Amino acid sequence: MGKRSVDEDPLARLLAPPPNETPEDRETRLRLEAEARQISDKIDEQLKAERAALKKNRPVKVLLLGQSESGKSTTLKNFQLTYCQDEWEAERASWCMVIQLNLVRGINFILDLLSEEMTGGPSPSAGDSDVSDDDDARFSPASGKVHLSSKHRLLKLRLAPLRTVQHDLELRIGIQAGADLSDTMISPPGSPTMGPAQRKQEFFVRSSTSWKHNRSASEAAGGRRSKESQMRETADILAGCADDMKAIWEDTTVREMLLRKGIRMETTPGFFLNDIHRIASREYQPSDNDVVRARLRTLGVQEHKIKFTKGPAAGSEWCIYDVGGSRTQRIAWYPYFDDCDAIIFLAPISCFDERLTEDRRINRLEDSFMLWKAVASSKLLSKTSIVLFLNKCDLLEQKLLNGVRIRDYVHSYGDRPNDIEHATKYFAQHFREILRKNSPEPRPFRVHMTSVVDTKATAMTLSVVEEGILRDHLQRADLL
């Protein structure tokens, strides 16, 4: 039965030696078969070498993940500043408009709050006007409102041209109103209520928009004003308003109003109100730190390719993806998990006392814990290197020095000292435990305490991260 099966197999009959094969014919056949095997083995070795080279030369795929305003875009800028200096220098001037817009929007935000103080609530009686003719403003404990002086009314009028400046800058950059977004530009951390001025939605550019090389709307409409003339006009208006902008930002009554509303503008992205005279100068040129600190939200996924020319990764290419962190955009993360080599996860630990702008019921630190758990437990990412940046340590230290107590918001913190050293150690341990309990496979816990707006310190951190990610990448490719 078995013999008949072999005889009836056409492949066996094809490979079988000829029935009347002579010894000379057999020797020739075996020699030709050996030569064919050698050729086949050489082809297999060549294919194996090509596959190994392809693995080695494939761009390293790195994702920047984290909630909105965690520092992802700022980290991407640091990569560009550290490893793409020529491109960075070529694009630096284009950031001037964004920095000017950040400054102007900050002032206009304050002016909106002043308008609320002047007109909000019950109509004041003739003897209790919200805007006094006195030179000095005053605070009324009974009503909880700040009564503004004629000085504030005058400043508000003198700064009115900034509305036009903001509109023109937005047109030139090509940004769109975020009507479909729930994030806000400047949301007051810890504020229980938000008025109309605080609920302004952030403007954004789409990731497909080359805003750095955009023609302005006025140029596209007919070229009546060149880009250079628009820039000069903006600089002239800002220079003319510089003293008034500084006066309203440093005004004690305005600071009291912000404090009462729970608004800490210094902690918001794109904050430049402490640099008014420098940025409002006609000769202003953005510094590296200015560009890193500038805020312009991008809707969609930003991809940036970096070709390393020095250091451990010299000769390799990285594709770094900055994906949106708001809750509505997180569904877009998953397609990028496939074939991902490394994730840099940014968790802003200064926001332990803040809530999500998308959902005021959720603490921002708790949201970072939940996101970290989702990433760490993903089976699709079980072989992916994960690096944790506990970010905004500078803002955390500032809050703690100002007397904000962690235990009032994070009850498990207990009676630990309320300082930066114990706080960072506590938060790091919490992230470590989440990784240990939820990772599909054991993997090292790599954490860095960062303030990514500090370009020099971040460059040192990135050099360490670069070496670790490259080593893991080569190990996965079986090349070490």
Mode of pairing for the β-strands spanning 60-65 and 317-322 = parallel
Reference 207, options 65, 358, 73, 357; nearest CA is 73
CB 376 within 8 A of CB 425: no
DSSP 328-369: TTGGGGGGGTTT--EEEEEEEGGGTT-B-SS-TTSBHHHHHH
CA distances for 171 relative to 102, 217, 341, angstroms = 14, 6, 38
Tell whether residue 183 is among the known ligand binding residues: no
What are the residues facing 304 on neighbouring strands? 320
Tokens of 153: 């009314």
Tell whether residue 392 is among the known ligand binding residues: yes
DSSP 405-445: -GGGT-GGGTTS--SHHHHHHHHHHHHHHHHHHH-SS----
Q: Which residues contact 208 (CB under 8 A, 6 or more apart)?
A: 300
Tell whether residue 393 is among the known ligand binding residues: yes
CB 79 within 8 A of CB 462: yes
347: number of CA atoms within 13 Å, CB side? 29
Known binding residues for Mg(2+):
298
Known binding residues:
298, 391-394
Known binding residues for GTP:
391-394
